[in-house]
Amino acid sequence: MAKCIACGAELTELALFHNMPASAQDFPEEDRLKDEKAVDLPLCQCLCCGLVQFDTVPVPYYKDVIRAGGGTSTMRHLREEEYRKLLSYLEKKAERRPLILELGAGQGEFLSMWQGVESGNLTPFVFGIEHKERLVEKGRAAGLALFPAFPEEGLSLQSFYALSPDGKERKETREELDAMVQFNFLEHQKDPKGMLDFAYRKLKMGGIFLLTVPSFHYILDNKSYYELLRDHISNFTEESLQSLTQEAGFSLLESRTVNRDTIEFVLQKEKKEDLSVFRYTGGKIDVSPLLQNERAIQEDVKRHIAELKKRGEKIALWGASHQGLTLLSTT
């Protein structure tokens, strides 16, 4: 019996999705096409902590951050709003020059958005770590404090440095930080609790962690099975995310939904013995609407193709997103 990647309890299968894309990235070149195959993905749930997850191994690049649309005006506005919120919590602390780490920073798209954020009487110092060295090189070339590393046990932060948002001041890092941020990266991890444990170890007591993940409720509410992808091993609800973060030693200060499809948590590191036990009581999630919508879309596509064939017409397929890949693969 498969085990939950968050708490180790046994999993219950919710549905089996056939002919799903093996990954959303790393498209094969011509000499690898013969080995390219769709996969069947069992969607499961842990009834102990509530986490919905695929019973599968992670994609090979799960440690790398891959972003699309990171530089849009909408995303910039959101990040700046979140940074101001984070600073409003840090203003209540004693440290006037807080150290802030981004866990999984890509090429620094969001690190650069600190520039111009009004920080009041604080001077934040920000830096990021990223597993993919090519992305780190791009960020460093742009003058950002970005370093090749992955948040796991044994990683020391003392050899790094952080920069003020304008890049004019530098501060050496230390093992305990004032705050962290992470944007839509936890859902890719084969050990999400381990990543949160890293954040807990590296934050000061009372340190702040701003965390975002895609919302599984959004997928359920819109019956959008094509939002599911192997890259996202975990599919979080607010309840399962709170269960996991509280188990890791964080209290929830604030939560909201942003961009309709993303959960945002503001967390604070606490003494674990002071936290209550968060027990999931939501029961088994009904995913039958996802399966019904999958069948409906498949029937629509088959009907459309049959009509084109009758008229002797051809169809061209194009998709520029993981949603497009899933629709192409499953229909």
Which CATH number does the domain housing residue 205 bear? Answer: 3.40.50.150
pLDDT at 42: 97
pLDDT at 326: 85
Average pLDDT rounded to a whole number, residues 219-231:
94
Contact, 53 vs 13, CB < 8 A? no
pLDDT at 319: 67
Give the integer Cα–Cα distance in Å for 45 and 234.
Answer: 10
Give the integer Cα–Cα distance in Å for 143 and 111.
Answer: 11
One DSSP character per residue, 303-325 reads: HHHHHHHHTT--------SHHHH
pLDDT at 216: 98
pLDDT in tens, 246-288: 999 999 999 999 999 999 999 999 999 999 888 888 889 999 9
pLDDT in tens, 195-210: 999 999 999 999 999 9
Average pLDDT rounded to a whole number, residues 240-245:
97
- Domain membership of residue 222 (yes or no) is yes
Neighbours of 289 (CB within 10 A): 15
Q: Which two tokens stand for residue 283?
A: 């029961």
Give the integer Cα–Cα distance in Å for 181 and 113.
Answer: 13
- Domain membership of residue 212 (yes or no) is yes
Q: Any idea what DSSP says for residue 6?
A: T
Look at 60-69, 135-144, 175-184, 263-272 and tell me which has the smallest mean pLDDT: 60-69
- Domain membership of residue 226 (yes or no) is yes
Helix residue spans in 59-160 (DSSP H): 73-90, 133-141
pLDDT in tens, 132-166: 999 999 999 999 999 999 999 899 999 999 999 99
When comparing pLDDT for 22 and 40, which is higher?
A: 40
pLDDT at residue 320 is higher than 80? no
Closest CA to 243 of 251, 232, 235, 254: 251
Q: Which two tokens stand for residue 151?
A: 């948040």
pLDDT at 69: 63
- Domain membership of residue 245 (yes or no) is yes
Closest CA to 211 of 185, 232, 236, 235: 185
Calculate the CA 7 to chain-centre distance: 18
CA-to-CA separations, 56 to 40, 107, 194, 234, in angstroms, rounded: 10, 28, 18, 11
- Domain membership of residue 280 (yes or no) is no
Average pLDDT rounded to a whole number, residues 78-85:
97
Closest CA to 85 of 227, 210, 238, 244: 210
Q: What percent of the chain has pLDDT over 90?
A: 79
Average pLDDT rounded to a whole number, residues 49-55:
97
- Domain membership of residue 317 (yes or no) is no
How much is the pTM? 0.93
pLDDT at 1: 67
CA torsion sign for 104, 110, 112, 115 is negative
pLDDT at 51: 98
- Domain membership of residue 130 (yes or no) is yes
pLDDT in tens, 87-146: 999 999 999 999 999 999 999 999 999 998 988 899 999 999 999 999 999 999 999 999
- Domain membership of residue 251 (yes or no) is yes
pLDDT at residue 240 is higher than 70? yes
pLDDT at 330: 84
Kindly report the average pLDDT of the chain as a whole number: 93
Helix residue spans in the chain (DSSP H): 73-90, 133-141, 192-202, 216-222, 238-247, 288-310, 322-330
Give the integer Cα–Cα distance in Å for 176 and 158.
Answer: 9
Average pLDDT rounded to a whole number, residues 294-323:
87
Residue 177 one-letter amino acid: L
Closest CA to 322 of 187, 227, 242: 227
Number of domains in the chain: 1
CA-to-CA separations, 58 to 15, 20, 141, 282, in angstroms, rounded: 19, 14, 30, 27
pLDDT at 70: 67
User: Which domain does 143 fall in, by range?
Assistant: 73-274
pLDDT at 322: 82
